[in-house]
Amino acid sequence: MKRRGKVDRSRDQMEDELNNRLKTLDLSSRSSVSGTGLVYSDIFTHHQNLWEPSHVESPHRVTSIMKELETQELLSHCIRVEPREATEDELLLAHMKPYVDMIKSTQTMSESELHTLSEKYDSVYLHPESFKVCASAVGSVLQLVDRVMTSELRNGFAVIRPPGHHAQANEPNGFCVFNSVAIAARYAQVKHSASRVLIVDWDVHHGQGIQYLFQEDPSVLYFSVHRYEQGSFWPHLAESDGGFVGSGRAEGLTMNLAWDKTGMTDADYITAFQQLLLPVAYEFQPQLVLVSAGFDAAAGDQKGEMCVSPQCFHVLTHLLMSLAEGRLVLALEGGYNLQSTAEGVAACVRALLGGACPSLTPPTATSDSALQSLSRTVSAQYPHWASLQVLGGVSLAEGSVIRAMTDEQSTEWPSSAPSVVTTTGLVYDERMMEHLNLWDRHHPEQPQRIAKIFSKHQQLGLVDRCQRIPARLATEEELTMCHSKQHVKLIKSSSVMKSRDLHKLGEEFNSIFFNNQSFHSAQLAAGGCFNAVERILRGEVSNGVAIVRPPGHHAETDSPCGFCFFNTAALAARHAQKLSHPAPLRVLILDWDVHHGNGTQHMFEDDDSVLYISLHRYDNGIFFPSSEDAAPNRVGVAKGAGFNVNVAWSGGRMGDSDYLAAFHHVVMPIATEFNPGLVLVSAGFDAARGDPLGGYHVTPEGYAHLTHLLMSLAGGRVLLVLEGGYNLSSISDSMALCTSMLLGDPPPSLVTPLPPPHHCAVATIIEVIRHHAPYWRSLRINIPESVRASLPSLKHRGKRSSKGKGRKSEQSGTDRPPLPPAGAKDLMAEHSLDQLTQGLASLDISHTSVSHTPATSTPVGGARSKVRPSPEVTCEGEVKAESSSVAVCEQNQSADSTLPQTQIVVGDEAAGRAGAELEAAGACGWSKPQMCVELTCGGGTDESSLYVVDPLSWCPHLDSVKPLPSSGINIYMPCQDCGSEAENWICLTCYQVLCGRYVNEHMVTHGVVSEHPLVLSFSDLSVWCYRCESYVHNQVLFEAKNAAHCAKFGEEIPPWS
């Protein structure tokens, strides 16, 4: 007991320290950082070949770049940074002293001596000023690293020469003398304490110099995409192939994507980033990204013979800006077509400055050769990165495709280019608050949703940074673009109905309420989006956000559904296409609302001009809207086959890792191949952490990263349209961060370390890829069965140990990436206290609850009715038959249980209802869901069931518990809202008494609106935490529990021990 108390005190001290740190921690410190640094000096023209003046690595490379930057009016937007010479100590970070001394000695050599020395090496020439120029090139990159790491600048580009990535520790190689980027990585580690650095090398030649320096270093992730052709292309090294992954503790930290053909296109490079680099980089979580930016893969370069456009380099740069909170430094390497190189650099600088991504030109489908190279590299890296283990064994014959994507380009609309200034439009009209529920003032789809979001935008200064777009009433004719005339007429009729008739009309539909302003509000929501689309397509704004209600994606052609009257996003898509007519306009509708957009799918499932992608909670058809139409195998019909993508989650409490995995491996590859001219986001935020209906854990930061990824599409023409989301704080924070991304702010950091995807998410993604690989080339990465079979049981988040040693919480060791390289393990141990503190700020404690069972709508404590076992949702996609005599083993129950006669049945709230109850369920599960852990003994149908709960011993919200009021606790007090005396709860923050879920749900609403997390039940004296979604039993709660116990039973409970 003494030792336990000591541990408790130690933990209390740690909690106090972390709480203090969290209060002072500025989690948005990078959001205010601005400025793109640019380093250049005439010194870089002094290094030249004295005996071969026409050498391709010439001074004209940098002068033509500066001329192009001036022509495109980019220089004036950059912050010029003066170069400096690197010191000898800095050069020694990557090179041997004898080698540095030798290069230094060239300053006094004659031309013949220089020529003789140069001939000793592969593709090298030296000049009397080479040492000074090369040292300045290194120092220039270090200058940018200093300013980016100290947040003086957001990012930067070094226009330097000669290149550096081939230079080795003790010899020059391939035009390179000092390895600028390698030295910069070491410098960031030494001077700025960066423990994880990512180096991306897109020069067409493999940067073997960088690889040699870091191939045994677990703190540096090196990614190179280069021409290889089975080793026939320079530098002709076996270790340049995709099978080389690093060695020792750094296995998995060298990634070579080796092209075996020339002519690789934008689509090949972008797919490589989406499917390989970004997933691994997000898992690695670098603190700085350095790019060896060679442009000899650019179209027209005589050495590279590739077909990469300037637009592609812009997109690649934009994608990298999502990492390391935007700390990104590019340094010029190769590139020998002067115009192509100059245009490539200008595109990268435009991206760094925040310019909208340009539209891509066809082809946008990945080539077969690129897929083979990708499959080879991913297979080699597969054992080392959990983020790659969501890919399976897709095997299709070369070129086979059920529906070939046309290469017809979407209509080119005006954009903000060549200006680097992007403008975000904002739609908001408080008249949309007039739609409200007359009979239930605590209904989750409340008017305050949009007011709170707009207020948050004002607080953060986002409104002032946006261009306001007025809402207008959509005309009845416009509404018939997606709805029947009868439907429009019906909704319009509600404007003049009496209260009784409004209530009766609402009862005819699934989860619908009317008042006399409902039609008007829905018209404003649609009309506001029409105005936003018009301005985006005309180039008056770059992108937009529409803070509108009521939501729309559940509305069908001829009926309202799930809080929705008119399908706002669908109408906006049709309006955009009407504006572009007769030119075709392809539209992507990305729906990340936690509920499937049944209405949107039905409207476009036979249309190949609209790609609908939905990420939603499915739970094998149990979760609202409870239809098999939301399943992954529903891919569209007729010519729309392949254009309907359902990422339908079943099981697990999905969060950032899961949504990012789906984006990297499904959403972005398909969307890029589709090549839309406009992106509409059905932006529901009910998958957000803390939402009372969704039960998922996506953070505001997670939504920000998803938005940033989408901005690489459609020339940056993205419109976010509010759908669901019912935790006022969650939706406000989430949508505000999305708007911040649209405005060009750097994506914020995610929790460190980012957990691997939930194994149920992996199962879903694999299933989606299986159904859609026949339609989309970019999904056809094939991992041989032998590679997958050679791995031990995958230990993705939520997967039980293969040894079956009982339960482990999702924060346990089973959450770590399967078979991480030794270096990756070291990286986890090296996270600083600052990073740990930041991680704890968004730590999701709910995974330490009863089990890893499928997520549910946020449970509410209290006496819960004892329902029969119900269909169990499993990750494998099966629904186990309902049976009162056969219980289903809980997923994390030990495989070697010693109680064969006793099974645990875990029914989650949505899954814990019988079929009839499901049918009557309200929208989004707003119908008193239930949660139980049922212990069935004997298995007989007449046996009684015992309900057990495993509470948390601690939760991070205990500091919200306030001292008891002087009057104590009166357990007989009625609900302060409705007067009910049945199943009441008391808030442990403000001590209001309100009724529970099975009465009028007033405490549920209070928890959402007030954000007071802990409540105590008058029925069983249990304490529930809304944010952790679990019961809690902790000494902090003893005073309140004891007071309630005394009031109820007239005696105190035993002292806490």
Nearest to 168 by CA among 88, 96, 268, 266: 96
CB-based burial, 773-808: b 16+ in 10 Å, e otherwise: bbbbbbbbbbbeeebbeeeeebbbbbbbbeeeeebb
Question: Pairing relation of β-strands 1023-1025 and 993-995?
Answer: unpaired
**Alpha-carbon 29 to chain mean position:** 20
Instruction: Answer positive or negative: Cα dihedral of 1035, 1039, 1044, 1045.
Output: positive
Q: Report the C-alpha gap between 519 and 576 in whole angstroms.
A: 22
Whether 382 and 783 have beta carbons less than 8 Å apart is answered as yes
Query: In 150-217, which ranges are continuous DSSP H helix?
Result: 180-192, 208-214
Question: Pairing relation of β-strands 1030-1031 and 1023-1025?
Answer: antiparallel
Dig out the tokens for 751 from the structure: 């929790």
CA dist 392 → 239, 762, 770 (Å): 26, 10, 8
C-alpha Rg value of the chain to the nearest Å: 30
Q: What is the DSSP string of 945-966?
A: EEE----BS--TTGGGPPPPPT
Tokens 């191949």 sit on residue = 673
Nearest to 89 by CA among 219, 188, 217, 187: 187
The 3-state DSSP class for residue 584 equals coil
Question: Pairing relation of β-strands 587-591 and 610-617?
Answer: parallel
The 3-state DSSP class for residue 883 equals coil
Q: Report the C-alpha gap between 110 and 115 in whole angstroms.
A: 9
Q: Report the C-alpha gap between 413 and 609 in whole angstroms.
A: 17
Whether 64 and 341 have beta carbons less than 8 Å apart is answered as yes
Tell me which residues are annotated as active site. 166, 554
**Alpha-carbon 811 to chain mean position:** 20
Dig out the tokens for 873 from the structure: 């949702």
Whether 510 and 599 have beta carbons less than 8 Å apart is answered as no
Instruction: Answer positive or negative: Cα dihedral of 521, 597, 707, 725.
Output: positive
Residues 6+ apart with CB under 8 A from 220: 185, 196, 197, 198, 199, 214, 250, 253
Dig out the tokens for 758 from the structure: 């939930």
The 3-state DSSP class for residue 322 equals coil
Instruction: Answer positive or negative: Cα dihedral of 690, 693, 699, 700.
Output: negative
Residues 6+ apart with CB under 8 A from 808: 800, 801, 814, 892
Proportion of the chain in helix, strand, coil states, percent, rounded to 5: 40, 15, 50
CA dist 920 → 873, 915, 996 (Å): 19, 9, 20
Q: Report the C-alpha gap between 1055 and 1057 in whole angstroms.
A: 6
Bridge partners (DSSP) of residue 171 are: 168
Nearest to 330 by CA among 296, 289, 358, 285: 289
What angle (nearest 5°) sits at the alpha carbon of residue 299, between those of residues 295 and 303? 65
